[in-house]
Amino acid sequence: MIKILKTGTKKETTCDKCGALLSYDECEDVKEECIEKVFTTNMPSGHGRKQKYIICPQCKNKIVTWATR
Ligand SMILES: [Zn+2]
């Protein structure tokens, strides 16, 4: 029986700008940023949406891998 000793974080994605197939590490290569600040009356301090992204090394395109709703 095969066991996972450590969960893998390597992922693959295709850059939609240049078409490069990229292999990235979810822990090491993904950057996080706030994409917008939402100000509402019941949350006066603001609550920012966040997204995670990688930068394509070939064309420097930002590829979003994860985002909050
Ligand atoms: Zn690219």
Position 12 pLDDT exceeds 60: yes
Q: Ligand 1 centroid to 23 CA: how many Å?
A: 12
DSSP state of 44: E
Q: Ligand 1 centroid to 50 CA: how many Å?
A: 22
Question: Is 65 exposed, middle or buried, given 0-12, 13-18 or 19+ CB atoms closer than 10 A?
Answer: middle
Q: Ligand 1 centroid to 54 CA: how many Å?
A: 10
Cα 21 from Cα 29, distance rounded (Å): 15
Ranges of each domain in the chain: 10-67
pLDDT at 53: 95
50-62 confidence digits (pLDDT tens) = 899 999 999 999 9
Structure pTM?
0.73
Position 40 pLDDT exceeds 80: no
Q: What is the largest CA-CA distance in the chain?
A: 55
Q: Ligand 1 centroid to 7 CA: how many Å?
A: 27
Mean pLDDT value across residues 38-48 = 61
Which band of pLDDT confidence, cut at 50, 70 and 90, is reported for residue 14? very high
Cα R_g (the chain), whole angstroms:
16
Q: Ligand 1 centroid to 62 CA: how many Å?
A: 8
